[in-house]
A and B are shown apart, each in its own frame.
Chain A
């Protein structure tokens, strides 16, 4: 019988470097709790991140990790997953990393429905570069880069994008509720297909608008309002509630889940012989290969 892993087994040797009160602590805790709940073997988990405060997360866990470059966590994770689909691949990063510089990869990864879980720690600002506007900054938000009239662009709505692009598990959680967050993360990791979990993770240093208190006054639980996550139209309607339609009520929970959609890995003919990372190398029948050219 297998020995159960303790919660602490998943804790890394490095202490988080985030500001005291940072929303990312809750996400770290939720992820650790989720993979502990699933009793994943730490050596079969790879956490991939980009660049930004939140992207330091892999260092704080005891799994494998790839702390890549800004905006490229998604393709790095895709390469890892396709090279060895037996691994549990989880991406962690921020809103600038995923919805800004990495937006192209974000959309394409979802349309592939790879079996990957993506946690975006969304603080609506660029923290590590000391407080510029991010793709999810609300209209009118004054930042170092928008000091005059504030942000004049519309914010990205990652959830409706995710649903339309083909993600099969789409959720939003809030660092003020670690319990709900860890359950949704666990559900995302368990889900077979691409899971996007937008984690509202307040930046206590550079975002003085979207604070814990600001969110607490506005969030509500979709599950308590009878939302059916298998209903794509209903999921869209809930997804655009905030920030697109209004800013007084912010839905949290599982917006959308599609079961039994084949993953990219299941459809990829190159994987039929097994994980590329574990295959014997070299050519079995070179003469047949050369014959093609005669």
Chain B
């Protein structure tokens, strides 16, 4: 029976060109019409250590980066040692026979160990040591019988017209690698049916950037931090063409405060960071809530606490986000589950931030932010809703920036609009921005006004709840087990649910939460009351979402599968947990 998918892995030391070779391979797959999903395991080091990238490609839409690889390129001995035993049935290990050794006893009996003189073969074309990757890549292409023209186009994308000799040398090296497979047992003969319809392939961070641009983001201030940095890189590269100011700033305090300043002045503004940087932004965010200034914050989570595992994934910052800032202020917290939602929810965040004049946080994680995935082309025609603005021009009568309204939203005026001058105030204030804190606090009339201002701001949560997506029930209605999840866990959990149905006849569905706050408690209860048994699947230690769910609804899950080892959820781990609790 012909196969429908492949799982390729390449590993080596940082600096060996692992990720760029993997990206080329992924590009060949996506240009061959396959669905692609990648995961890079790397470390907090520039040279050395052990890094590997897995590329899964399929004729069918994918839900995870997969599990055991069928081809591994090992660029050093450590990679041979670690990954050789993980090769799937009939798999192939490609390694450099002159520098490394593969031990047949460590692999399945049906695995092929192909030792090529990668370095020596590469030297024919270039002195650059990384050329050996290209030879190995060519071998992998031949094993899967992927269309070679896409290899050539991938190289042209990397080196472009500026270095035709480099492109040419790489093409020749890849051909040499491909040819070498003939004498090593030939291709795998998967019989994958390729097309010439390239699928767009991008990271979650790319999708976040596209969502921001589509929604009219004109300002990004950011401080480098894994796994959010690539948002700044992409935006900076595209900023002049789209009239966006992108600023790398001195710290995250500056980042969030600049974005809030830009939002106050009328630009759609954003910052992006990970947990450490978000921690620094906390006071600034409260300022956004109090001054009623729109701002979008992307939080791409990584493993904490503290510096934690900077290159590893986690969903451990939910408590931080929910509790960010002293006092109560209205916020929306959205958690995209896939690249498509990175696009749509980021775009939506800009509307929500302006409609409700308050910070909106988009929570991703390393697994979603950095992995490449093929997507359906986005609809860039996203609605742009700027919310209630004061009318510019004409006579201005008695404008009050913080006027009491039923929705809690007051007409907003931007600097430059004549007659609407006002102060954005972080102290508690009256409708006209005058401070209550200094000489009026405790005076009965103003005790009442403080209360009214607080209630005005918090009323925005009612609107935010209506305008954010509620929980989604996915899968069969008569499931015996319901998985509860948020964020990037969607893919692996759905794959596990499908698999356990096929292999064990256990019916599993999911309830997924794209909005974490304001919490959709009523809808959640409707969905969860139908569940026979529940298993929450979360990438943190304490079950932060599980606790939120209970706090908001009183609903206690039956089982919790928390993961905090830094690695993304693998479908088979969730399958094992399902079988454990379903029996």
Contact = CB atoms under 8 A, between A and B. Distances in A.
Interface of A: 13-14, 17, 41-44, 46, 48, 51, 56, 58-59, 62-69, 71-72, 74-84, 86-87, 104-105, 108, 268-279, 281-283, 286, 289-290, 293-294
Given A43-B420, A59-B434, A270-B243, A87 B283 contact: no
A46 B257 CA distance: 15
A277 B389 CA distance: 14
Contacts of A46: 265, 415
B80 to A, nearest CB: 34
A279 B244 CA distance: 10
B284 interface: yes
Given A67-B425, A269-B240, A270-B240, A281 B435 contact: no
B435 A43 contact: no
A138 B257 CA distance: 31
Contacts, number: 213
Interface residues of B, number: 75
Contacts of A14: 434-435
Contacts of A281: 215-216, 218, 268, 384
B258 to A, nearest CB: 4
B250 to A, nearest CB: 4
Nearest 5 A-B pairs (CB), nearest first? A79-B261, A281-B216, A276-B218, A273-B243, A286-B380
B246 interface: yes
A279 B243 CA distance: 8
A78 B258 contact: yes
B243 A108 contact: no
B199 interface: yes
B258 A79 contact: yes
Interface in B398-418: 414-418
A188 to B, nearest CB: 20
B266 interface: yes
By CB atoms of chain A within 10 A, which of B200, B380, B423 has the most?
A: B423
B262 interface: yes
B262 A80 contact: yes
Given A79-B260, A271-B245, A293-B206, A278 B266 contact: yes
A282 B266 contact: no
B355 interface: no
A283 B244 contact: no
Contact of A69 (B218, B382, B426, B435): B426
B219 A43 contact: no
Contacts of B286: 69
Contacts of B500: none
A274 B267 CA distance: 12
Given A43-B421, A62-B421, A80-B261, A75 B200 contact: no
B249 A276 contact: no
Given A48-B261, A270-B240, 13 more contacts: A14-B435, A43-B417, A46-B265, A64-B421, A67-B427, A68-B257, A79-B265, A269-B239, A275-B267, A276-B245, A293-B201, A294-B31, A294-B201
27 contacts: A14-B434, A44-B416, A46-B265, A48-B261, A59-B423, A59-B435, A63-B421, A64-B415, A72-B284, A75-B253, A78-B254, A78-B258, A79-B221, A79-B259, A80-B261, A83-B264, A84-B416, A104-B251, A105-B250, A269-B239, A269-B240, A276-B219, A277-B416, A279-B243, A281-B215, A281-B384, A286-B380
Given A82-B247, A286-B380, A293-B202, A69 B287 contact: yes
